[in-house]
Structure 1
């Protein structure tokens, strides 16, 4: 994938074909999830400033989708971390949902160096060509750059939260362990344990003793990819950490599987998704991200 020249960087740049040779971020759905469900939610951008922006992280121009109330500043910030499918329409919609409630929501493309996840027709190909190649340390650095950008463009860095789905749910755990200045985090079906690799040397469970940020973990009991015993281990490890388990919480929906919030997929469970969304908003509000 062609990348823009870093020399053309400015602090806040809406993207166009001259600066980023790729379909607009946050438009359309990833090939691996087509056809999308008829129940797919669409949130309009009325009253919002919404669209692509860009900022630098370690010499690379990171594209991001952001949405925020038009004309307002000093806004609470939610960093939205995408799933395996990248920053496609669903992630942009989630940003707009947060923005409608008064947040500056920004979703950086954490795959920009590895390629375009939305172009691959199967999750197996995304895993092989994208996910396995993204270093955790690189993701943490890109999220640091995201937070810095938000603080310079209408966001209040003292009211900072992170919300991640699936692959991004694991990243949300890691960033909560990485950045103790955050107020709160929400991980939707984010894996906490698993294989150690060169790009993923540590999992959230390995770093649980460092966690100082309250995390809400939202999971489905029928999720075959996240064994319940790993969540039990995570709870125990958090309890032995500096906060003594205070502040973090796990909610497990008995009949839900993986991706139960993904309204564009057959895995969507409306009642559980709506309950989890209410809990998410209450979590951020209750921890000062509002």
Structure 2
């Protein structure tokens, strides 16, 4: 399978002051998909503009025709499966079946306390995620759902007429631990990783490749336990959180080398950040666009 190239667009621009143009340009450049982060605020962008993910994707769906759209990723930190399912079904309809839901357990960042709650521990997040994903799966595939869980409930919740994509829109499950990998193998159409965060500060690119190889092996093991062929899952790498930082985005050749090494591991899609000036993602726009238009053909030849 050829390696797909996608982008993640941070929701930092007003729609009529550059937002719409960015999403349309992503389609013009030929990206497979354009995602956005589903946060209430995020890291160094906390005190600046940051718009909502699902309204942004709805506007992007109306402004494009071919580009796949998605979250990378949604989490239970401030979402409930019943209301999220209704919004996702609607967005899948508006986009004409171009939506992918990236979904993960969440972190202890700003989203974890924005609703006034105490931040959950990693185990508490995993517990909620293990209940959230199966319920969301049911809500998007069944006409009426009643369920009482430890953390989430649904009472005759209806998500009609259902998704344009059947049996539902695809889930891209972000996970590295055993419980999350089981959810990816059980419910996912794709798996997402950023690599090993422990290597970000002091690791090497070679150590990162080894860590990613180990994650892929554990994903294969999770699939084997369910008698599922791991080839059925796309493997998505979100670039920008590995030891080489933005070096792969310094030139087309640097990116092709980076992408080829990860394609050889088994990744089927790499997602790069749309440039944001004066930030960790301040890639030169001209180089970024050359990567988008030239790298896929070079990788296909290799």
**TM-score (norm: length of structure 1):** 0.38
* Structure number having the greater helix percentage: 2
* TM-score, normalised via structure 2 length: 0.37
Structure index of larger Rg: 2
